[in-house]
Amino acid sequence: MELLSRILVVFFVSAVLAACSAPQAPPQSLFVLMPDDSGTVGSITVSNPQGSQTLGEAWQATAVADSAASPAAPTILSADEVKARFHDALAVQPEPVRRFILYFQKGSKALTEESQALIPEVIATIRERRSVDTSVVGHTDTVGSNEANMRLSQERAAIIATMLTDAGIDPTMLETSSHGERNLLVSTDDEVSEPRNRRVEITVR
């Protein structure tokens, strides 16, 4: 599961650990802290009435033998070991969300050259994932009236949606919206031309 807005990923499993020639061990709860796709790692505290342990490093793990035992001292597992142990759980995890930000020229519905070059990658990502839920959200900077910027952000989102559908993306799989000059990527005063706020954000799920 993902916690703290995808800052960290924690896997938990209850498993019976037994050797072929040894008596069956009691059930054990295992917690493993995994980095997200960007390599970012947060932290989590595993606690019960007997004690607690905080995990704060990638691939760090703690085990709880039973309800009468405190969490064990953290250890570091190898990435391969975690992937092997949690293979079934990892196999059914949805692919992480992909986000793209496309920037526009000042007061315009035309993309910058750099953002125009990203369009093929956006289309390829939607196709590869067979996405049935892709959002396209238009934004502006604070130059101009609220009403004008709302229209401009709608037009920007519509243009990108059209590019996607013209490439064969099913329009029923797209959700288009616009925020005008609300939800600035970079906070500014009114009537400030900020290139990073002139954008369309695409989220491919």
- As a whole number of angstroms, the distance between CA 5 and CA 14 comes to 25
Write out pLDDT tens, residues 49-88: 999 999 999 999 999 998 889 999 999 999 899 889 888 8
> Residue 26's pLDDT is what?
54
Chain segment 168-188, per-residue pLDDT in tens: 999 999 999 999 999 999 999
Instruction: Set out the domains of the chain in order of their start, with CATH numbers.
Output: 2-91 (no CATH), 98-204 (3.30.1330.60)
pLDDT per position as a tens digit, 95-154:
789 999 999 999 999 999 999 999 999 999 999 999 999 999 999 999 999 999 999 999
Q: How confident is the model at residue 5 (pLDDT cuts 50, 70, 90)?
A: very low
- For 7-16, what is the mean pLDDT? 48
Q: Which residues contact 161 (CB under 8 A, 6 or more apart)?
A: 136, 171, 174, 176
User: Given CA atoms 81, 86, 88, 90 in this order, what sign does their dihedral have?
Assistant: negative
Give the strand pairing for 98-103 and 199-204: antiparallel
pTM for this structure? Answer: 0.64
Question: Helix 119-129 to helix 146-166 angle, to the nearest 10 degrees?
Answer: 60
Q: What pLDDT is stored for residue 25 in this prediction?
A: 53
